[in-house]
Homo-oligomer: A and B are copies of this chain.
Amino acid sequence: MNIDIKEIARKAGVSIATVSRTLNGKGPVREETRRRIIQIAREYNYKPNPIARGLSRRQTDTIGVILPELMDEFFMDLIHSIDEEAYRANRFVMISSSHSQRNIVETLIEFMGSGRVDGVILMASELDSSVVELLKKSKRPIVLLNASKQINSMVSFNVNNYQGAMAIVEHLIGHGFRNIAIIKGPQGNCDADERFKGYTEALSAHGIALQEELIVAGNFTIQAGYYGLMRLMSQPQKPDAIFAANDMMALGAYEAARSSHIQIPRDVAITGFDDIFLSRLLTPRLTTVHVPIFELGSKAVRYLLRMISGDVNPGYPYREELTAGVILGGSCGCANPTTQLLL
């Protein structure tokens, strides 16, 4: 193995306790002794073994991240931001996704029960309530990401889907559209639910009645967007604008429009949600809602660390909604400033 604290102590002519105190900056150490120890430690490039350290301190300096089975593009950003923030705080990141053979609970237990992490960040868009009960019992702090508003007894950081959806639909209303359709996200997905709520609120706030025929089901896939538009544009009551609850579905709608010779936004305006990379490449560029995923990750880590350190009471519920801003493309009918690509 590497050089250990005993070695350093011997070389410095002190006890291991003194070395430990010095390196941890706790307890009194004479300045001269301190210097000598630091010096020697550096010289031998000594790094305390975190495993042993963890055993003794009951802390691992590691946070766990649990992602859903289906990961899309922006989980990459999420991981990136979490990693970045953790690094700043000298923490490590353990990743696990709840895929195929493994469900969220199992993954959590694996992490928690085993004392491998000091806390967990859990992407929770599709968490069911039975799981939540379990989560609440956890001895280690958990921060939820995009948790349903039902879950009010825990800590969560969330994209404000409601506000974002409302904003983009109001933008459409501002364009003069009155027959605004929505292609919804999957049932039981809280992001989807909130986006739908934002849609209905925006309409009612402007005195526009909800029309059943303009509300179609979807599941966040390209296909759903494709068939959604097909269906909407083939019925007597055609929409003049379509709010796809995510960009993938908007993309499907684009495809459908193209294959049906429907022009965007002339024949129908389209907007999305997520601001995925792809949305920038569509012609016209998709008007969508930007999801502050990077900020979400950073905030989650920072808060989790405070829970771990006891700086905030881990038992105290907290919820934060991050504002999601509208990105104007040409698909809503705006004169398009962000022409094409990123050239």
Contacts and interface: CB of A to CB of B under 8 A. Distances in A.
A13 interface: no
Contact of A340 (B76, B255, B281): B255
Nearest to A64: B92
A100 interface: yes
A51 interface: yes
B92 A50 contact: no
Interface in A35-78: 45, 47, 49-52, 54-55, 58, 60, 62, 71-73, 75-76
A89 interface: no
A97 B96 CA distance: 16
A251 interface: yes
Given A58-B1, A222-B343, A71 B80 contact: yes
Nearest to A252: B341
A154 interface: no
Nearest to A77: B71
A24 B118 CA distance: 25
Contact of A96 (B83, B259, B278): B83
Interface stretch (A108-116, A301-309, A326-334): A108-116
B54 A51 contact: yes
Contacts of A99: 80, 83-84, 87
- State how many copies of this chain the complex holds: 2
What DSSP secondary structure best describes chain A's contact surface?
A: mixed
A257 interface: no
A278 to B, nearest CB: 6
Nearest to A223: B343
Point out which of A49, A102, A223, A340 has the most chain B C-beta atoms below 10 A from its C-beta. Answer: A49
Nearest to A259: B340
Nearest to A52: B55
Contacts of A150: none
Interface in A88-104: 92-97, 99-102
B93 A49 contact: no
B281 A251 contact: yes
A16 interface: no
A254 B315 CA distance: 54
A62 B83 CA distance: 17
Interface in A133-176: none
25 contacts: A45-B113, A47-B113, A49-B55, A49-B114, A50-B114, A50-B115, A50-B116, A51-B51, A51-B116, A55-B55, A71-B79, A71-B80, A73-B73, A80-B99, A84-B97, A84-B100, A87-B99, A93-B96, A94-B94, A94-B95, A95-B95, A223-B343, A252-B343, A255-B281, A278-B278
Q: Give me the 7 closest cross-chain CB pairs, A-B, nearest first.
A: A95-B95, A50-B114, A51-B54, A47-B113, A51-B55, A76-B76, A71-B76
